[in-house]
Structure 1
């Protein structure tokens, strides 16, 4: 029987659900497959200088390294927690379940384990080459969605690799990227990624951004509305 192409399988999952989820030994490699495939295809098809292509592929390599490290940590913690539960040798304290070796998971409304110390600085090149005015319209839509502000810089957290790359495309430059959590969902594990765009400053509050998006929509300017809808 012919095996499915892993890229096609991951693409289908992203297209169907956005958030990749599944067994821990599937979901982290799936993120790596998606990032590697999309950065390679962008480098091959977009009109980028050789230096920009190298930077984009280097960005993909940094992401894959982070995901590999996070995979190893998540797998070890989950195995320890599973054994503790199976043996009945655990303790509950302030919404956390602790294994004897100190590994823990949050057991509240959004069960998860925290990924610690898996972060790096990466450089994402400008792949869209948009005029500044057009670029800011797309950025405006992200500010309405779930973009936060950390130290005045835009911060974005997602478990959807396609949204992560779409956000990075308009917040290019120096990014501080971290794998922050493994979300424990009913249908598997999901990977949470968090990035801070150090090359940009937040320009609007969420209320200001919402007002501007609606203003532009009434004028028939759809770029902010598009990126706002992407994240919903």
Structure 2
């Protein structure tokens, strides 16, 4: 007995529309953005800084943060430094690029107090003063530090989030630093999840750079 094909054309049209390139939700939009970043990194022989800058721009486009920093561990002296910034004043950006951190400064709560909100991400509150006096000039609006927090979901000047980038043995090889959301509220849990996924991807790129492997045809990530 032949199958009933009534309504088949309508179902085919529905499938085509449903799986079209038009994204129907926020998750699909984010996945598409991350996919483009992966393909970009896998199809270019540009410098590590170029890939990290594209990662920062991807984060800026996809998520709620207005200020984004990406830093890496210097393979020579093992100090940590900022290499990419988006959303900062020129003078603040210049001062940020001069700062060097030790590993202890990221993990000793007596130096920079913060709250671990996951195994990979640390949240810093401006009230805890998680910065040195020299770093105050790197904030866009430092005078706001003196104001009281208006609500429990406010993400205020001086608050920031570090998403750590770890290597295969658990050592920190870089980090993504995020501040000032567009709506002034704390970022969503889903945003943190996606950013940790991006950090995991950047871990691979940074490791390959350190090992001198990035750009070899046999380890490319994206399509040819």
Q: TM-score, normalised by structure 1?
A: 0.26
Which protein has the bigger helix share? 1
TM-score by length of 2: 0.26
Instruction: Name the one with the larger strand percent.
Output: 1
